[in-house]
């Protein structure tokens, strides 16, 4: 899907890339504001670990996550709950605290605990409760605003 941008001079246009940008103001003025809305998504395998990093799923510095979804794509054998989605090595439930059984297909909405921008690019992690005995697959999708 192409990127869609809006500027006061050109209106609504398509560009290469993904997402939606809104730019308000004159490009030479100090009050310029560009807002991007983006969706990032990645699938990761999970097993016995209590926290699993979602490799290559990074929230950019300065971005504010406004919501998302976590979904079980491949079930694993015993009762394990996906109960946290957040930052690796940090605030592990920053992006939501769903209670989603990993031994059944399903999904849960992610509601961030605070709408604060990331100071630096942050690796996303999924927290599990219980001991998974077989690998499953979980997909994490986040929607964020990036204001520059």
- For the chain, what is the largest distance between any 2 Cα atoms, rounded to a whole number of angstroms? 59
What is the C-alpha to C-alpha distance for residues 93 and 82, in angstroms, rounded to an integer? 11
| 128 in Cβ contact with 50 (< 8 Å) | yes
Give pTM, 2 decimals. 0.76
Class of domain 40-147 as given by CATH: mainly beta
For the purposes of burial, counting CB atoms within 10 Å of the CB of 119, is it exposed (0-12), middle (13-18) or buried (19 or more)? Answer: exposed
pLDDT at 102: 84
Q: What is the DSSP letter of 104?
A: S
- Where along the chain do its domains lie? 1-31, 40-147
pLDDT at 105: 92
Which has the minimum average pLDDT: 12-16, 29-33, 86-90? 29-33
């Amino acid at each position: 899907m192409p990127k869609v941008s809006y500027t006061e001079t050109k209106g609504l246009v398509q560009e290469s890339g993904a997402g939606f940008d809104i730019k308000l103001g004159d490009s030479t003025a100090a009050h310029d504001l560009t807002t991007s809305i983006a969706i990032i998504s990645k699938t990761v395998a999970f097993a016995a670990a209590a926290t699993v990093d979602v490799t290559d799923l990074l929230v950019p510095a300065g971005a504010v996550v406004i919501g998302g979804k976590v979904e079980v794509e491949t079930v694993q054998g015993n009762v394990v709950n996906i109960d946290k989605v957040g930052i690796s090595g940090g605030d592990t439930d920053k992006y939501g605290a769903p209670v989603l059984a990993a031994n059944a297909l399903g999904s849960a909405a992610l509601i961030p605990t605070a709408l604060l921008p990331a100071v630096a690019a942050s690796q996303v992690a999924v927290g599990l409760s219980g001991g998974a005995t077989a690998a499953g697959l979980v997909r994490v999708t986040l929607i964020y605003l990036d204001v520059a």
